[in-house]
Amino acid sequence: MKTVWVNTADATPCSESEDLLVANCLVAAAEGDFTAYFDLGVAYSTGSHGIGCDLIEAHKWFNLAAVAGHEEAAICRAEISDDMTAREIAEAQRRAREWLAATSRKAA
């Protein structure tokens, strides 16, 4: 059986390499790589690499990268915030806190 990778934005097939790129970023992010945080923010904010555009997830990843010291992430976070409601930003911040809590538990 062959695995078919699907773009979550529009249910179109995407390449396995796109999916692997995101998977690799998630692994690196779980290890605290703030560049991976930024890359995930870019993917979610642009809807690239087989990921649908999701500003809440993008804000979460840009926020995590910015807190870790990635200067460009802070700029990107501010730019997408202009297109988000206060409720969406609060949700993104909640998800960022959850990510930090989950990854700190794994490290302990």
* Alpha carbon 34 to its chain's center: 11
**Among 58, 51, 56, which Cα is nearest to 22's?**
51
For the segment 66-103, what is each residue's pLDDT rounded down to a tens digit?
999 999 999 999 999 999 999 999 999 999 999 999 98
Each residue's pLDDT tens digit, 13-47: 444 556 688 899 999 999 989 999 999 999 999 99
| Measured distance CA(61)–CA(103) in Å, rounded | 14
CB neighbour class for 66 (10 Å; exposed up to 12, middle 13-18, buried from 19):
buried
